[in-house]
Structures are given as structure tokens and as C-alpha cells.
Structure 1
Amino acid sequence: MEIQNSSILMVFLLFFILCCILIYCKTKVQCNCKICHAYITSSWSNEFDNLCDWYTHLLKSSPTKTIHIHVLHNTITSDHQNVEYMLKTRFENYPKGKPFSAILGDFLGRGIFNVDGDSWKFQRKMACLELGKMSMRSHAFEVVNHEIDHRLIPLVLSVSRKDHKVLDLQDVFKRFSFDVICKFSFGYDPKCLDESLPMSDLTNAFDLASQLSAQRAMKPYQLVWKIKRMLNIGSEKRLKESIKMVNMFAHEVIRQRIKLGSCSNHEDLLSRFMATTKDPNYLRDIVISFLLAGRDTVASALTGLFWLLAQHPKIVATIREEALRMAKHEALTSFPQLHELNYLQATVYEGMRLLPPIQFNSKFSQIDDILPDGTSVKKGTRVTYHPYAMGRMESIWGSDYLDFKPERWLKDGVFYQETPFKYPVFQAGHRMCLGKEMALVELKCVVLSLLQRFDIELETPAGTLKFSPGLTATFAGGLAVRFSERDM
């Protein structure tokens, strides 16, 4: 009898939910415009391999370089004046917003990437105080080079000396960056890049949580995923399970740090935050935020950069020549030396111009507003700027915007940085990425170390890239390459 009653209750509940969805959809903006129809039906995929490429096409075609996806309540722009307006001029009117926090709340909690106001200011101040210290930058340099010398290079050497020399470089870079950010931020070594390349349920869970959280934001009707979460079914059930595993890791890291104590002599960021709070849930959110920033973005940038470098041997040769001139045929051993490699810096920036780790970034307007290009923005509208599309705008980069050309960042051989509002890869204005310098150290050290020791060849001919859904850009299928040792 109880089973029968439960079944009747479940049928009633599902019927009620279906009615709610239908009513919700009826009250939402229904748009029959060409763009919204293409989005809803996914007909854009008949012509484009990636959503970001379709958006780029639409933005190029727009006179204002701004478009509207009405069914998403989303205004998307590639106009750098709009970007400056959102991130600097009218910063207070364009926070992350409650809708964004709800979408990523289960995964990121109250971490710095998912909050506004006082909580954001506090976390940013804490991180800024530590990351701005030269001692922390030197520590980052040491951590990165230790991981390169003792794990990355031995792994690549081992693979290059085998008959089957193919290596998924994207997987390698995810493991590498995960080890680095854990050691730097938490004083913990997960050893993901050991030569055996151990399978990691944790990293798989982290990837899945990122992917499914991002898919929430792509849904025209947000009520759908919220109901699935309430019923713990489908993608929301998988998301909950993956987050549970990530949480177990985060709490174990915190437990280990508490066990050691939060003394000032610990060279990790988590210890600094622990000096201000012992709330395990808050510290958990800090851990997840650092992982997302330090693992996924760096791995994405490195993967894209090596995909480009493998197709441009002249650029590789120039990087090697610059390093030889600087070090006088000796290994680079200091942070200041690395900073003087202008062509290498230009190459890293150019790689992220074409393949930014974060392809788009959204804010929510607090009140009705008008963007510099004349676009009206209603209160509550999601406003998105699109670094991937901006890197492909002729109006910003000239007619050779599709060329991989580090020289565009040099003036008389010295690196020259374009305004961040035209190149918001590290964001810009008040939310400028605090880990920018550490990320650049990591990217340049890896590029230099691998290019000096190895020649790199793509396993399959370069073609159109396909990206997997996620909070950061990820190559679908990875990046298969072959390494061969160079004569030193």
C-alpha cells in the first residue's frame, strides 16, 4: 500500500512539475528571430563547429559588434569600449550577480569567482597582499621549475624514447598545473604527473563538475536544471556526485593544513586565509576557486599555445634563439631572466589572443543602462563580453587578425602590452586577474623548457578545433603530439 501511494505521489509530482515548466516557458521571452531560433534548434552547428565561432560570426556581422540572444536574456559584445564601461567606468552596475552565483553556487560556493561586494573585496585583498610579494613570485618560480625538472621533462623523455611516442599534451598539462597549484596554494603534492600517469577520480570529477556547471548557463530555461536538481536526476545527479568527490579532496587539504598549523612560515595561500577564519565550508570554497584558476586556465592556455607552436617552426626557432642570447648558452635560472625574454612573452600573449582560456565572461546589470555603443540594457540582463571573438576582430587587430604573429606585441624588440580592454584575457579594471604574473611564469617556463629539449609534432594534421563544454576552453579529444629529443 505504501509503495502504491509513493508511486501515485511521484506521478502527481512529475505532472505538477511538467505544468510548472510549461507555465514558466509560456511566461518567458518567446522569440522567433533568426538568432534565437538558431540557438534553440542548434541549427548553427550545421555551419559552425563551436558555439564560440558562431558568436564570433554574429558579432563581426553586427554594426555595433553587439548582439542579443533574447531567449537567454543575454547581450553579448566584442566592443572594447563596452568592455571598459562594464569593468571600469560602471563597475558597480555590472557585478557577477545573483543569477550567475546560483548557476555556479553548488560548485564554486562563496569563492572569489562567484561573489560580489564585501566578500569579493575581502578575498581579493587577501590574495593580492600575498600574490603581490616578490617572495611569493619567487616561490612560484621554484615550484614550477621543480615540477618541470623532476616530472614534466622525465615524463616527456620517457615517452620520446619509446616506439609509440604519442602523448596527450592536454592531459599532461592538466596534471602538471594541478600539481603546481596544489603545491603553491595548499602546500600539498597530489603527484598527478608521476611517470605512471596515475588515473585520478578527483580530476575527472573536477572536469565533470566544471562541464555540467557551464551547461547550466547555456539552458534557455533555468527552471529545468533547478527541478532536476531538486529531484536529483540526470545531469544534476551527476553534478552532485562529482562535487561530492571534489569536496572530499578540499576538506582533506584543509584538514592537513589545520594539522600542521597556520604558522607564518608556511609558503602557501591557504595558510594565509586560515589565519582569518576556521570555517571549513568557506575554506572549501577558497580551495575550489584556486584549483579552477590555477589548473584549468593554465592547462588550457598551454594546450592552445602548443597547438599553435607545432604549426609555426619559425616562431619556435626565434624563441630558442632569444633564450640562447639571454642566457649565453646556459640554463635560465632566475625570475628576472625570464622577464627579459620579450619574444617569448609576446608569443604567450599572442597564443591567448587566438585561444583564450576563458572564452567569454558574464555580468548582470543592476539597473537599466545604455552601453557606449548605444545598446540599451534592461535591469537584470546578462551582459557578456567575448575575448575569443575579440581576438578575431579586424577592427582591433588589423587584417592579419587570424595570423599567429608574436611581432604584433613588440615595439623595437620590446614587449608592448595592448590595453586590457581590447585584450581581456586576464579580465581588466577592478577584477584584473590576481594570478596573472604567476600564470605567465608558469606558461613561459613550460614553453621554454620543452622547446629547448624537444621538437614537437602534431599526431594528426591541424584542422578545425572542436571545444568541449566547460568553464574553460578544452580541446575535444585532447591534443595528441609526438616528441623527439633535440641535439643539445
Structure 2
Amino acid sequence: MIIDVLELGKSCTNTDKSLRRLNLVSKAKQAHFDNLCDWYTHLLKKSPTGSIRIHVLRNIVTADPENVQHILKSRFENYPKGKPFSVLLGDLLGQGIFNVDGDSWTFQRKMASLELGSVSIRMHAFGIVESEIRSRLIPLLSSASGNQRVLDLQDVFRRFSFDNICKFSFGFDPGCLEFSLPVSEFAEAFDLASKLSAQRGLAASSLIWKAKRVLNLGSEKELKQAITMVDEFAQRMINQRREMGFSDKHDLLSRFMRTIDDDKYLRDIVVSFILAGRDTVASGLTSFFWLLSQHPKVESTIREELERVVPSCDDRPFVTFDQMREMHYLHAAVCESLRLFPPVQFDSKFAQDDDVLPDCTFVRKGTRVTYHPYAMGRMERVWGSNCLEFNPERWLKNGRYMPENPYKYPVFQAGLRVCLGKEMALAEMKCVVLAIVSRFNIRVADPNRKPIFAPGLTATVRGGLPIFVQERGA
């Protein structure tokens, strides 16, 4: 398939002769780029404005921070998620917060903000994470230490985060990270539903998957079966909460049930949070430890900071939330990892009306407009000449973490749709990093192998991340 890409020049007029037309054959593209996101990065770097138009997909892709601010803040009302997106993921996410616009989004956003912003819910989440680390993650890694057993660290993190988000969302423990690494039917169904929902977006036309859905064929038949299992599980959790009572429970489902009595609505909300809270954290941790394996100096600096903030010997106690706030280098390292490998590599909106972006790109009504955090992290015009380096120091000033403009760093979105779970996700990642680097040396089995991402809603490394574990001091 030939994709016709029009690189956008700097002029606002149609007479700008600097516009160049590129005919790019997908097979040639695949020969040079293992990841689709790297191909987009290549095109965006070549564009004078950092924006490109992919005509056949009616898609404008941008890596310009001013455009991102325009989309996510200045003209927020003109760039909703849009019907094409909600239809694509509607069978899985239904009317959940990540799949709706307008009044439904506003209502859920207010509710979620109220619940997730409370100190009690954050401490509840922190306790869940600490318990999972102490009782499962550390024993599992210890069991693999020193015996040349290869672990897929991505699989470990996906199991870890799935246990955590299910406890947090439902008050249910699927036990995915138990010693035997058991198979969870719910986790498998959820994974399959997420994967197949994302694959709908890769179809040459939406008519293809819609026809397969009507006829109940192939991947659409599999998707329907997987979603049925997710629905049955969610309904079981809701029924149990009603039987047991939910007024004194801390999980997200119980909190929402105090206000909402519609079972389908409850199911959609909680499933959306599982999708967001599970895959993004696992993706971020996987990329972090791959980068750490390439940069031992960063690893040793994190350990030095830990010793300075929490001086102790073996059997180190778990770091408190307040102590973790004093670890500026750790926070910088996590943010730097997410800059280079954002769990959500790109995000799209659909223009409700004609518009012009700050770089003078004309946007016709109904056009898909995509901002690309993965590419933005690799743009010299955004991050400077060392943009490809893993350099936590870029976030520090006099040893203290300094946040960046969120539209330059839209890893957690920005503006009105900024991720409500951002602080909890960062805290969870930092808890895991500290627990592992203080006790273990993690070495990637093939250090020369670069991440190749599988198609999906989040950045998942194809083939996982095989590692060897050695306890420190052993």
C-alpha cells in the first residue's frame, strides 16, 4: 500500500512552494524501521513544522508543543475523542470515562477527581502496592536469583499491575503474581479484548471489522467471547458488593456504587480504569528497566540517593511516601524514561469544526488529529541536541526536580483531560524501582536487543523482556 504524505511547510497560504510530496511504500518503511512509531518520528523530524498530513487516513500528526496545547487546552471543545474512537473501543469500554465526551465525560471526571484526589484513596492504593511488592514481587525475584532462570520482566510487571488494579478497582485479588504464575481467565480475556479492540484500528476500512462483527466471524467472534467473560466477571463483582455491602469499602467500585445504581455504567467505568491502570504502569516499568540495563550509572545514582534518604542496612524497610518525595533523582529518572518510552505513544482527537493549528496547518471538520508523545521525545527542536539520550539530569536544577511544560511532555495528556491517576502511577512505579534496585541486580538477557513494539492500545514489547536476577551481595 502506498501512503501519500504531505509535509507541511511554514506558510499559511496555499501558494507555499516549499510543500513537498513524499510517496512512501510501506515495505520500504518496514525495512528501515522496526516500529511504526519510529517511522512517524522520522517523518515528523523531516517536516519543517513538526506536523504531517496522511491523506489516505485523513489524519494530521503533530509533534509541535504549541499544537498540542491548542488541541488539549485552547480549543479543547473542538477536539473531543470523537465518534470514530468511541465506536472502535465501544464494545470493550462502553460509556467509560476514556471513551466518552460531553456531559457523560464531565460527570465521570468530577466523580473520579473527587475519589482519586482524596488522601485516603491514595494511601489505600499505596498500601496495596506495598503489599504486592512485599508478598509476591520480591519473593518471586528472589526465587530466580542466582540460578540462571530467565524471567520475562514485562510479564512479571503485567501480572503485578493487574493484581494491583483489580484490588484497587474491585477489591478482588486475581493472584496473577503468585509463585506459580497461574493463568487468570479474567486477565487473559481482558488482554485479548484489549488487543483485538486495538487491531480494529489497523483495518484498511472500518467496514471490514464492522462486517465481521455483524457476521460474528474471526477476530470479532473472539472479541465478543472475550468481552462476554469480562462482562460476566464485572457483574459478579458488582453483585458481590451489593450482597456484602459497600459503604465501608475503599475499592473504586464500592465508592462509585454509593452514587451510581446502573450496573452497566458501573461496569464501563471500572473496566476503563483497569485498562488505564494496568497496561500503562507495566509498560512504563518495562521500558525503565531496559534503559537502566543500558545505563548502570543511573542505577548506581538511584541507589546512592536511596542510601542518603533512607540510611539502613540489609532488610531495608519500605520507603514511606514522604521519603519518596525527597528522591528527586529517582523521580527525574522515571520521567526521563517516560519521555523516551511513553506507554501511550500517540493519542487522537477528531475536529468538530474547521480550524487552523498554531503552525498554520488547516484542519478540516471531521479530520483525525494526532499528537505523538513518542516522537516528541525524540525531536531536537523540542528537547535539544541530546534528545535521544537517557539523561535524568535534564529534569534537575540544583539537585531538585523541575517539571516541564506538560504540552512539551504530554505523557499523561494535559489540559482538561490530564490523567487523574498520574501521581498514583508514578508512586507505584517508584515503589517498584526502589524495591528492586535496592535488593537485586537485573540484567537483560540480550542487552543489544532494542524494544520492538506490538500493535496495541499501549506500548507492549514484542517477545517481552527476558532478564536474569541476582540478589545484591549474594
TM range (shorter): over 0.9
**Aligned counterpart, 1:453:** 439
Question: 2:61–2:371: 8 Å Cα contact kept in structure 1?
Answer: yes
Distance 2:167 2:450 in 1: 35
139, 149, 154: which one pairs with 1:165? 149
**Aligned counterpart, 2:13:** none
332, 357, 362: which one pairs with 2:348? 362
| Correspondence list, 1:420-439, <5 A | 420-439=406-425
Deviation at residue 208 of structure 1 after TM alignment: 1.9
SS of the residue corresponding to residue 419 of structure 1 reads coil
Which ranges of structure 1 fall in alignment gaps of 5 or more residues?
1-29
SS of the residue corresponding to residue 357 of structure 1 reads coil
- Determine if the alignment matches structure 1 residue 109 to structure 2 residue 76: no
**Aligned counterpart, 2:237:** 253
Question: 2:440–2:471: 8 Å Cα contact kept in structure 1?
Answer: yes
28, 34, 47: which one pairs with 2:32? 47
**Aligned counterpart, 1:325:** 308
Deviation at residue 31 of structure 1 after TM alignment: 7.0
| Correspondence list, 1:317-396, <5 A | 317-329=300-312, 331-396=317-382
Show CA shifts across 1:312-370 (max 9, x none). 11100000110110012253442111111100000100010011000000000000000
Distance 1:248 1:70 in 2: 41
**Aligned counterpart, 2:57:** 72
Question: 1:77–1:384: 8 Å Cα contact kept in structure 2?
Answer: yes
Shifted more, 463-472 versus 210-219: the winner is 210-219
Which ranges of structure 2 fall in alignment gaps of 5 or more residues?
7-20
The CA RMSD over aligned residues, in Å, is: 1.6
Q: 1:474 to 1:31 in 2, by over 3 A?
A: closer
- Determine if the alignment matches structure 1 residue 142 to structure 2 residue 130: no
Deviation at residue 186 of structure 1 after TM alignment: 1.6
**Aligned counterpart, 1:470:** 456
Deviation at residue 388 of structure 1 after TM alignment: 0.4
**Aligned counterpart, 1:226:** 210
- Determine if the alignment matches structure 1 residue 203 to structure 2 residue 182: no
**Aligned counterpart, 2:430:** 444
Letter in 2 for 1:393: M
SS of the residue corresponding to residue 33 of structure 2 reads coil
**Aligned counterpart, 1:303:** 286
Deviation at residue 130 of structure 1 after TM alignment: 1.2
264, 286, 292: which one pairs with 2:269? 286
SS of the residue corresponding to residue 310 of structure 1 reads helix
Deviation at residue 44 of structure 1 after TM alignment: 1.7
Question: 1:346–1:406: 8 Å Cα contact kept in structure 2?
Answer: yes
Distance 1:151 1:470 in 2: 27
**Aligned counterpart, 1:314:** 297
Show CA shifts across 1:247-289 (max 9, x none). 22222222222222220x2111111211122212111111210
Letter in 2 for 1:354: L
Show CA shifts across 1:219-273 (max 9, x none). 331111111111111221121122122222222222222222220x211111121
Deviation at residue 37 of structure 1 after TM alignment: 5.9
66, 73, 77: which one pairs with 1:92? 77
Letter in 2 for 1:130: E
Letter in 2 for 1:133: S
Taking structure 2 as the reference length, the TM-score comes to 0.93
Question: 2:355–2:365: 8 Å Cα contact kept in structure 1?
Answer: yes
- Determine if the alignment matches structure 1 residue 242 to structure 2 residue 229: no
Letter in 1 for 2:229: M
- How many residues of Structure 1 are paired with residues of Structure 2 in the alignment? 456
SS of the residue corresponding to residue 483 of structure 1 reads strand
Letter in 1 for 2:47: S
Question: 1:71–1:220: 8 Å Cα contact kept in structure 2?
Answer: no
**Aligned counterpart, 1:153:** 138
Deviation at residue 396 of structure 1 after TM alignment: 1.3
Show CA shifts across 1:18-48 (max 9, x none). xxxxxxxxxxxx9755889647x55421211
Distance 2:464 2:185 in 1: 18
Greater helix fraction, Structure 1 or Structure 2: 1
Distance 1:126 1:75 in 2: 33
Distance 2:292 2:449 in 1: 14
Q: 1:37 to 1:256 in 2, by over 3 A?
A: farther
Distance 2:399 2:391 in 1: 14
415, 418, 434: which one pairs with 2:404? 418
Calculate percent identity across the aligned residue pairs: 61
* Ranges of 4+ aligned residues in structure 1 off by more than 4 Å: 30-37
Question: 2:44–2:51: 8 Å Cα contact kept in structure 1?
Answer: yes
**Aligned counterpart, 1:269:** 252
